[in-house]
Amino acid sequence: MIEAVNLYKSFGDREVLKNINVQFEKGKTNLIIGESGSGKTVLMKCLVGLLEVDKGKVLYDNRNFSEMALRARKAIRQEIGMLFQGGALFDSLNVEENVMFALNMFTNMTPEEKLERVNFCLCRVNIVNSNKLYPSELSGGMKKRVAIARAISMNPKYLFCDEPNSGLDPKTSILIDNLISEITREYEITTVINTHDMNSVIEIGDKIAFIYKGELWWEGTNEEILVSDNKEINDFVYATELLRKLKK
Amino acid sequence: MHVFYHIGKYGLLMVRTFARPQKWNAFRKQVFIEMDALCLGSLGIIAIISVFMGAVLVIQTAYNIDSPWIPLYTIGFTARQSLVLEFCPTMISLILAGKVGSRISSEIGTMRVTEQIDALEIMGVNSANYLILPKVTACVLINPFLIALSMFLGLIGGWLAAVVGHVTTSHIYILGIQSFFVPYEIFYALIKTAFFAFIITSVSGYHGYFTHGGALEVGRSSTLAVVYSSILIILANLVLTQLLLAA
Ligand SMILES: Nc1ncnc2c1ncn2[C@@H]1O[C@H](COP(=O)(O)OP(=O)(O)OP(=O)(O)O)[C@@H](O)[C@H]1O
Ligand SMILES: [Mg+2]
């Protein structure tokens, strides 16, 4: 379980996160939703320590991550997999080397074992026969999927995904959503996903945290969100004509 | 104040850079890749510049001495001294600051703005150590060899100019480049080169590593990298010469 307690973060005099208190549960896909610019990416970066919080703390299974020394943080980071909004694959390495990177760095597996693990992860995200391609030779969706494969290569206990399906077609989006939710259940991962895609919310939202202007506005499940009478929630959920019609 | 801020930040980055690599064989592999990309990739330009520089030095020296009292082997001697003491170590390092420095800082800067450095950090990899240390190691080890080669090619260029341009005979030129030879001067030049290599790689690494924003900032930091490494090379040149050569 990952917990954020009284989290504050501002850039200069611009307050981006205000008093965030939220828990993300193990074995569930936890969603952070909110409109563009509401602070989702900043919240996620605070959770993993890429940004230092101004006030408050982040707990990983009751281990206080915010006050840890660098060395202890590194140990926890090896339990974290993260998918970045832009993929962030290493340009100079091919698909196979990208997925193998952490295995090379942190394990003593033999080359055969590593290759087997890499192929397993790539197969899991439906990337076959592309081991030797470089990131510049992949499509957007393939990059995302390779990035997921890289994020799960070390069997993470915590998985963070920043907009896993932005810029993808609806079919691939659903594929990736289901993939993440399957992996989460299968390996009992604590998964946190940033999204503004309503499809994902309905499909895989075990637990949803709605961020509005830097504040935690609402929490609940994907069933509750559809019937909530909160105005901001309704504006967000029923932003499209199609969903408004379906509601009636 | 600004200066101290950067010096402090640079110092902290260097502390993180000079940590023990996560995996030695990954580090070794990376050093070889950088040697190939940064050092051997510069062979061509170094060769061309050295040969022409040596040739021009010989022609200019000959042009300046038309007194019968100055022996002709002075031409070879002067060319050698200029090449070994200053032209090869400093000039070539300045050129490498442009070529290698901009490459390093735009490579690392792009990795920063596309979140690849964040991805390294998330995995628990010390990104400064992983990205900067192999480059520093490769250049500090290989650049002295490049400069030695440059000296040799410079002397060949001078010989060509001397013989082809009928400035002097091959025999007298070679006598000139052999006269009053002090091996310590070569040592001085190569030590300088190693220091300059460190400046180029670490300063460019610094500018790349702390890039914020997008393509525009990547370009800006590679310009800054070249400017600052050049200035620091010039300053270090003065200090090192004072320390190593002043009687
Ligand atoms: N490094 C930074 N410096 C200053 N302001 C920042 C920085 N990073 C983010 N912000 C500000 O924080 C706010 C929240 O940004 P954030 O990236 O978290 O949005 P988001 O919810 O992820 O949006 P999107 O859905 O478009 O990705 C924005 O107003 C942004 O301008
Ligand atoms: Mg975002």
Q: Biggest alpha carbon distance in chain B?
A: 73
Residues of B in contact with A41 (CB under 8 A): none
At A74 the pLDDT is 86
Look up the pTM and report it: 0.90
In a domain, B199, yes or no: yes
Q: Scanning the structure block, which residue is given the tokens 């250049």? A: B139
Partners of A82 on chain B (C-beta within 8 Å) are 119, 122
Q: How confident is the model at residue A113 (pLDDT cuts 50, 70, 90)?
A: very high
- pLDDT of A124 reads 86
Mean predicted confidence (pLDDT) in A8-14: 92
Nearest-CA distance from A69 to chain B in Å?
13
In a domain, B4, yes or no: no
Range of the domain at B132: 26-242
Question: Is B122 in CB contact (< 8 Å) with chain A?
Answer: yes
Residues 93-112 of B with CB under 8 A from A: 110-111
CB nearest to B115's CB, from A84, A104, A106: A84
3-state secondary structure of A129: coil
Q: Is residue B196 part of a domain?
A: yes
- Alpha carbon distances (Å) from B142 to A24, A84, A106, B134, B189: 51, 37, 29, 12, 14
| Closest atom, ligand 1, to C-alpha of A44 | 18
Residue B104 falls inside a structural domain: yes
| Inter-chain Cβ pairs, chain A and chain B, closer than 8 A | 50
> CB under 8 Å, gap of 24 or more: what pairs does B214-220 form?
B214/B113, B215/B113, B217/B109, B217/B113, B218/B106, B218/B109, B218/B110, B218/B113, B219/B106
Looking at per-residue confidence, does B165 or A245 come out higher?
Answer: B165
What's the confidence (pLDDT) of residue A97? Answer: 95
Q: Is B1 a domain residue?
A: no
Q: What is the spatial order of strands in the sheet that A158-162 belongs to?
A: A80-83, A158-162, A190-195, A29-33, A207-212, A215-220
pLDDT at B233 over 80: yes
List B138's β-bridge partners, or say none.
none
Is residue B61, in this structure, part of any structural domain at all?
A: yes
- Cβ <8 Å between A75 and B118: no
Q: Which pLDDT score, from 0 to 100, does residue B247 have? A: 66
> Mean of the pLDDT values across residues B29-45?
93
Residue B81's closest CA among B195, B171, B158? B158
Q: Number of folded domains in chain B?
A: 1
Ligand 1 pocket residues where CB is under 6 Å: A 11, 16, 34, 36-42, 196
A73, A52 in Cβ contact below 8 A? no
Mean pLDDT of chain B: 93
Q: What's the ipTM?
A: 0.89
Pick from A20, A34, A50: nearest CA to A194: A34
- Asked whether residue B5 is domain-assigned, the answer is no
Angle between helices B127-164 and B73-82 (to 10 degrees): 170
Q: What pLDDT digit, counting tens, does each position of A157-170 carry?
A: 999 999 888 777 88
Q: What mean pLDDT is reported for chain A?
A: 90
Q: List the residue whose alpha carbon is closest to atom 9 of ligand 1.
A: A42
The answer to whether the beta carbons of residues B21 and B125 sit under 8 Å apart is: no
* pLDDT of A100 higher than 70: yes
Contact B121 A80 (CB under 8 A): no
- Give the separation between CA B233 and CA B56, rounded to whole angstroms: 24
Return the pLDDT at A9. 94
Ligand nearest to the Cα of A38, by number: 1
A224 — pLDDT class (breaks 50, 70, 90): confident
Nearest to B130 by CA among A205, A79, A191, A104: A104
Lowest mean pLDDT among A39-53, A62-76, B37-51, B203-217: A62-76
What percentage of chain A exceeds 70 in pLDDT? 100
Q: Is the pLDDT of residue A71 over 90?
A: no
Domains of chain A, by residue range, sit at: 1-11+49-67, 83-191
Q: Which of A67-71, A108-112, B10-14, B182-186 bottoms out in mean pLDDT, i.e. has the lowest?
A: A67-71
Which residues, listed in sequence order, are joined to residue A11 by a DSSP beta bridge?
A14
Query: For B125-146, how does the pLDDT look when each residue is reduced to its tens digit (9 = 90+)?
Result: 999 999 999 999 999 999 999 9
Superfamily grouping for domain A83-191: P-loop containing nucleotide triphosphate hydrolases (3.40.50.300)
In this predicted structure, the answer to whether residue B65 has a pLDDT above a threshold of 90 is: no
Domain assignment present for B93: yes
Give A84's DSSP letter.
Answer: B
